[in-house]
Amino acid sequence: MADVTVLGAGGATVTISLTSADNAAAAQAAVNVVNNLNNLGLLDMQEVAGAGSMPAATNFLGGLMLTGTGFSDDTGAQYLFIGANAPGGNEVLGGANFRTVVVAGDGSDLVYSNLSQNAQVFYGKNNGAFVNYNGNMTVRTEDGDYLLASDKGTSSTVNLGAGGGLNILDLGSGLGATTVNAAGSGTINTFGSSPTVSALTNINLTSGEVGIAVVNAQAIINPGAAKVLILSDTDGSATLFGGTGSATVGGVRGMFTGGSAGDNDMITSTVSGSTTLIGGAAVGAPGDFLRAQGSDNTLQNGAGEGTLISLGGGFGATGGNIFNLGTGQATVFSAFGGNTFNFNGDGGSQVQTRFDGATTGTNRFFDFGGKGDYSVDGFVSGQDTFSVGAVFSIGFFDAANNNGTEVTILNILGGASYFFFDDTKNGIPDIKASDITVR
């Protein structure tokens, strides 16, 4: 336990225990401002025992309330300090246009409603809620489950303690600017009134395993070293920046970059053209698994290994997706045509298009430089197209003269080589010069 000490009426002290030493130190620093004002004799103070609801001071929770007119800044702001030491359910309303400091000790389950200019709120190990109706509010929590609700609040910042859970609720008129900083494992759920009205929630993670749900809302997620799970309804959207951990993304709209630790398992939304998945595995890390379950989505492998899939049947996906293949080693499976394949580096990808044997839909292939070696299975000459940026040559080796393997090789001058293997061994090149255009 770490203690926070505040000066009470008549010079008495009130000690409030918090679990986290870091949280207590930050609370003590904020309280020291109020203590100094007390030492200068600029405060009218009340020490209130008992429990109940604000704003009636005679029905206040245990702790202190300090107000005064002898100190002000350019805005004429006053100070309201609340120290919650009593256990059980307590409710506090921060004074309108006041500067507010709230400290809730362990077990003091507290609901704080903010109307003040700049509220600083510290929660011990408990369950509580904070509602921002106006102004700026910064909250530091410890282990426990919390609710943040906002209605026209200018900005809300929550520093969520390790093991904590946080639900974020937009009351209908917008969250304002909301930032969540999570120190370790926990859960963060953000619920918006509308994906177009609700402001972005910025979520910054450090480590541990963190689950995030984005429902009818928007979020920007910086995962750090955390292993993160992101889920959503069809109206939720998010942006995930790759960290040093790994990511699991299930059916969310937006752009998601996996972590460099690899083993990223990400699935697009079913909404057409709504999701971009980018593998993040570093070289040597476990490979990524990226899957499209709707058309016109983009899948891109990272620097390491990855499996990119757009399959039908029980996999629930369609064709018409975009595959960006860069420096990594990617294996691509696509059940239907209508896809675009962009080769952008020195990788060694294996592309199996029309995995189920379907011939419908034109696949388009684009070579954008690099010197990778790629294999392509399922190219339909006369239907699929291949665009290159330099002079090319085509070589054909029939099965009789190539150890029983029939292969067509497309060589780009000074660049990549593409190998087309034909299991039918029909003696006809899989790709012809008429399928290729030079940009």
Strands (DSSP E) found in 233-302: 237-240, 247-257, 265-268, 275-278, 288-291, 298-300
Lowest mean pLDDT among 95-99, 353-357, 385-389: 353-357
| Mean pLDDT to the nearest integer, 20-24 | 88
pLDDT at 118: 87
Residue 82 has pLDDT above 80, yes or no: no
Contacts of 29 (CB under 8 A, 6+ apart): none
| Mean pLDDT to the nearest integer, 207-230 | 95
pTM higher than the cut 0.75? yes
Tell me the pLDDT tens digit for each residue of 184-206: 899 999 988 766 656 689 999 99
| Mean pLDDT to the nearest integer, 207-227 | 94
State percent of the chain over pLDDT 70: 83
What the block records as the tokens of 314 is 């029980």
pLDDT at 160: 92
Pairwise CA distance, residues 263 & 280, whole Å: 9
Tell me the pLDDT tens digit for each residue of 29-73: 988 887 777 777 665 555 444 443 333 333 333 334 444 343 344
Residue 247 has pLDDT above 50, yes or no: yes
Pairwise CA distance, residues 98 & 121, whole Å: 14
Q: What average pLDDT does the chain have?
A: 83
| Mean pLDDT to the nearest integer, 218-246 | 94
The DSSP code sequence of 186-210 is EEEEEE-S-TTTSPPEEEEE-SSEE
CB atoms within 10 A of CB 192: 26
Lowest mean pLDDT among 51-65, 281-295, 303-317: 51-65
Closest CA to 170 of 194, 141, 144: 194
Strand partners, 103: 83, 122
Lowest mean pLDDT among 47-51, 114-118, 130-134: 47-51
| Mean pLDDT to the nearest integer, 246-275 | 94
What the block records as the tokens of 117 is 């200019």
Residue 235 identity: D
CA 74 to chain centre: 39
Please report where in the chains the tokens 């994906």 appear, as a residue: 195
pLDDT at 195: 63
The DSSP code sequence of 101-155 is EEEE-TT--EEEEE-SSEEEEEE-SS-EEEEESSSEEEEE--SSEEEEEESS-SE
Closest CA to 112 of 96, 93, 88: 93
Burial class (CB in 10 A: 0-12, 13-18, 19+), 438: exposed
